[in-house]
């Protein structure tokens, strides 16, 4: 989810107010695309039906004709609709995602988009690459509990894109899965993406964050509590010069800052904005120049912090290696504390201290909620929030501040 090419580098002093003001807007093209897909999902449009004209869609959705034309072009290329010169745009008869592969003939004129026979599988929808971070543990717990409840488990990625997320949900609906657990994209989830599933009694559970207006259970961990635990841990060791480091302005950054600030203020320890360091966009592991810029800001300043809380374990690893390269000893010269899954893997992560989340348990709880909604013991529009506990992994990167010469 990188920003524009000119929005690169780092911000040595990342004001907390900036985090609270930041919002994500939905592209107009995505708005048109999702509207058409929703009309198909709920049956307002059927195979062979003509779409409204570009002018009608532009007026209805308050977008320009160019946005409508681009969105319809994407749907045409993906086989959802078909443009017929001189006549208009029609829902595809042959290649539509809801078509029955066993029946290649034309659908009845009054046919509606209906899901197939229920598939005995739970789907886990993730926004990012699933090979690192929290997601391997989440997948593991989700799969374990799904098997115990006699369900297959499906894993799908959306690349953090709302349009892709809508397409994924649309396909899950038409495959009629038994339930969906989702770590949603960071932007607000359009209501129809949830309604498509819930209106056909397919339960939904949010994991990590809830981004929809409609009710659905949420299994989470407290971002603000992570900040409080980190602050208390570092303060108990005697640190008074504490910094926060993030590779990007992630959604959890503001709550992390709130937790740190509240606990440090309670203890009479200053935590100014100048000690908040964040990249301006998501830094890939190969973005060596950007990593070097932000790590230089953190480690080479005149009043370097003695302890640094990192918002992600990959950030902790980069910081650790950069400190060693500069001849700084961890933890004798610098204490590093991160946040990550309870399941510790890799040579560095077994050394680096972290506030940990049991994502295996989180995945299992998500399936338990899906089971309860399917069995009718919990309403499908439940708004319960389940918060999993946090723990501290006291790795060898924790230590008191260095003594002054």
Q: 198-223, pLDDT tens digit by residue?
A: 888 899 999 999 988 889 999 999 99
Q: Give the predicted TM-score (pTM) of the model.
A: 0.73
CA distance 337 to 349: 11
Residues spanned by the domain of 127:
120-221+359-388
CA distance 364 to 201: 21
Same domain, 271 and 347: yes
Local confidence band at 31 (pLDDT 50, 70, 90 cut-offs)? confident
CB under 8 Å, gap of 24 or more: what pairs does 321-328 form?
Answer: 322/291, 322/292, 322/295, 323/299, 326/299, 326/300, 328/299
Tokens representing 248 are: 């990007």
> Of 358, 380, 399, which marks where a domain is finished?
358
Run of H or E including 399: none
Identify the three-state secondary structure at position 46. Answer: coil
Residues 91-117 have a mean pLDDT of 46
The CATH number for 184's domain is 3.40.50.2300
> Does 244 reside within a domain?
yes
Number of domains in the chain: 3
pLDDT at position 286 is 53
Percent of the chain with pLDDT strictly greater than 70: 83
What does pLDDT average to over the chain? Answer: 83
Exposed/middle/buried for 289, CB within 10 Å: 0-12, 13-18, 19+?
exposed
> Does 209 reside within a domain?
yes
Q: Is the pLDDT of residue 228 over 90?
A: yes
> Does 104 reside within a domain?
no
Which is higher by pLDDT, 180 or 159?
180
* Peptide bond before residue 331 is cis, with ω within 30 degrees of 0: yes
> Does 102 reside within a domain?
no
Which is higher by pLDDT, 27 or 224?
224
- Beta-carbon contacts of 30 under 8 Å, excluding residues fewer than 6 positions away, are 71, 162, 163, 166
Tally the residues of the chain: 405
User: Can you say whether the dihedral through the CA atoms of 107, 111, 115, 118 is positive or negative?
Assistant: negative
CA distance 153 to 132: 19
Taking alpha carbons only, the member of 343, 345, 348, 346 closest to residue 310 is 348
pLDDT at position 186 is 83
> Does 14 reside within a domain?
no
Q: 318-366, pLDDT tens digit by residue?
A: 899 999 988 999 999 999 999 999 988 778 888 999 999 999 999 999 9
Exposed/middle/buried for 317, CB within 10 Å: 0-12, 13-18, 19+?
buried
Q: Is the pLDDT of residue 32 over 80?
A: yes
Q: 116-154, pLDDT tens digit by residue?
A: 556 789 999 999 866 567 888 999 999 999 999 999 999
> Does 154 reside within a domain?
yes
Which is higher by pLDDT, 397 or 120?
397
Q: Is the pLDDT of residue 296 over 70?
A: yes
Local confidence band at 160 (pLDDT 50, 70, 90 cut-offs)? confident
E strands, 134-261, are 152-157, 177-182, 204-207, 218-220, 242-246
Identify the three-state secondary structure at position 131. Answer: coil
pLDDT at position 279 is 78
CA distance 405 to 1: 45
The CATH number for 85's domain is 1.10.10.10
pLDDT at position 355 is 98
Q: Which residue has the tokens 């809380």?
A: 309
Q: Is the pLDDT of residue 262 over 80?
A: yes
Query: Residue 191, Cβ neighbours under 10 Å: how many?
Result: 12
């Amino acid at each position: 989810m990188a920003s524009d090419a000119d929005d690169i580098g780092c911000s040595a002093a990342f004001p907390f107010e900036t985090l609270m003001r930041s919002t994500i807007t939905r592209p107009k093209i995505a708005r048109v695309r999702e509207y058409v897909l929703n009309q198909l999902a709920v049956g307002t449009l059927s195979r062979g039906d003509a779409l409204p004209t570009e002018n009608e869609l532009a007026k209805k959705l308050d977008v320009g004709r160019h946005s409508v034309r681009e969105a319809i072009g994407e749907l045409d290329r993906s086989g959802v609709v078909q443009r017929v010169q001189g006549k208009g745009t029609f829902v595809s008869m042959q290649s539509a995602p809801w078509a029955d592969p066993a029946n290649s003939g034309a659908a009845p004129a009054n046919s509606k988009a209906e899901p197939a026979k229920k598939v005995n599988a739970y789907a886990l929808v993730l926004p990012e690459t699933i090979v690192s971070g929290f997601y391997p543990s989440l997948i593991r717990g989700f799969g374990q509990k799904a098997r115990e409840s006699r369900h297959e488990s499906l894993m799908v990625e959306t690349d953090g894109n709302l349009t892709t997320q809508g397409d994924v949900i649309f396909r899950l609906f038409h495959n009629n899965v038994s339930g969906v657990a989702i770590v949603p994209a960071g932007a607000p989830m359009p209501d129809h993406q949830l309604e498509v599933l819930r209106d056909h009694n397919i339960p939904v559970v949010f994991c990590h964050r809830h981004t929809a207006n409609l009710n659905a259970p949420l299994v989470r961990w407290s971002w603000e509590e992570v900040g409080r635990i980190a602050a208390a841990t570092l303060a108990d060791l005697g640190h008074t010069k504490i910094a926060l480091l993030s590779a990007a302005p992630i959604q959890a950054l503001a709550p992390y800052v709130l937790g740190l600030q509240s606990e440090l203020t309670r203890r009479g320890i200053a935590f100014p904005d100048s000690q908040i360091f964040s990249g301006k966009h998501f830094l890939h592991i190969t973005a060596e120049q950007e990593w070097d810029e932000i790590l230089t800001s953190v480690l080479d300043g005149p009043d370097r912090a003695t302890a640094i809380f990192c918002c992600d374990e990959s950030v902790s690893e980069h910081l650790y290696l950069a400190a060693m390269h500069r001849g700084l000893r961890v933890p004798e010269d610098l204490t590093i504390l991160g946040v990550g899954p309870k399941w510790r893997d890799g040579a560095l992560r077994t050394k680096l201290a972290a506030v940990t989340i049991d994502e295996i348990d989180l995945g299992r709880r998500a399936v338990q909620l899906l089971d309860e909604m399917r069995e009718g013991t919990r309403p499908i529009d439940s708004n319960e929030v389940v918060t999993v506990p946090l723990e501290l992994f006291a790795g060898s990167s924790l230590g008191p501040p260095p003594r002054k010469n």
